Amino acid sequence: MHVLVNELLSLWTHGVNIVTPRYPKGRLVRVALVGVVCDKPAAHKLGGFGSHQHTFFCTRCWVKQDLKSTPQSFAKDGFRALTNDEHRSHMSNYLKCQTKTARDDFVKNFATRWSELSRLPYFDMCRMIVVDPMRNLFLGLVKSHFYHIWAQLKVLRKTKELRRLHSLLAEVCTLYYLTFSSGY
C-alpha cells in the first residue's frame, strides 16, 4: 500500500505529461483517488478503522455495536458523526504509540489504526471508502437487515414504508423477468 500511495502522491503533486495527436507537446494530467469500493472488512482495513466487530463498528458515526438494532440507529443524525479530521487525528495519535500493547489499547478505545491512505491530503477517510452493496445482497445480509432489524423492530411501518418497499421490489422483480425472459 505504501508504494501505491507514493505513486498517487506523485501523480497528485507533479502529475504526468500525456502526449496526444492533438497536443504533441503534451498536457499535464494530475491523478486523484476519488473512492475505494470494497467489502466491509476491507473498508475497515484500508480506512484505518477498528474491526467491523469492534464496539464502535461504523465507519461513519459513533454508534455502538449493542445499539445498532435500535430505532435511533436509523434516525438521521442518531449518533455523533465521525469526521475525517477526527479520524486523521486519531490515526496520528495511533502512530505515537510505542508498543504493541499501547497500540492495541488505543484501537480498543478509539477504533482507529494507521492507514496509508491518510497520506493522501485530499482523501476523506470517512466518505471516500464505500462498502459495496452488491456483496451484501449476495451474502444475504440485506434480507437479514430488512427483516430482523427494520421489520421486526417496527422501524418500517406496515401501512407506510413496508408497503411501499414491497411495491418497489415487485416492480424490480417484474423488470428483471421482462428483461431476461425476452432474450436480451
Instruction: Indicate yes or no: pTM above 0.85.
Output: no
Cell of 94: 495511533
Name the band, by pLDDT with cuts 50, 70 and 90, for residue 78.
confident
pLDDT: which is higher, 58 or 27: 27
Least confident of 12-26, 57-71, 81-95, 158-172: 158-172
- Given a contact cutoff of 8 angstroms between Cβ atoms, the answer to whether 12 and 122 are in contact is yes
- Here the cell at position 91 is 490515526
Question: Where do the structural domains in the chain lie, given as residue ranges?
Answer: 2-139
Higher pLDDT, 81 or 67: 81
d(CA 22, CA 3): 33
Alpha carbon 86 to its chain's center = 16
* Residue 81 φ then ψ, to 5°: -70, 145
CA 94, CA 108: separation in Å to the nearest integer? Answer: 11
* pLDDT over 60 (residue 162): yes
Beta strands in the chain (DSSP E): 16-18, 27-29, 36-38, 129-131
Cell of 7: 505513486
User: What's the pLDDT score for residue 62?
Assistant: 84
Residue 108: pLDDT band by 50, 70, 90 thresholds? very high
18: confidence class by pLDDT, cuts 50, 70, 90: very high
CB 47 within 8 A of CB 59: yes
Bridge partners (DSSP) of residue 61 are 81
Average pLDDT score over residue span 142-150: 62
Mean pLDDT on 103-113:
94
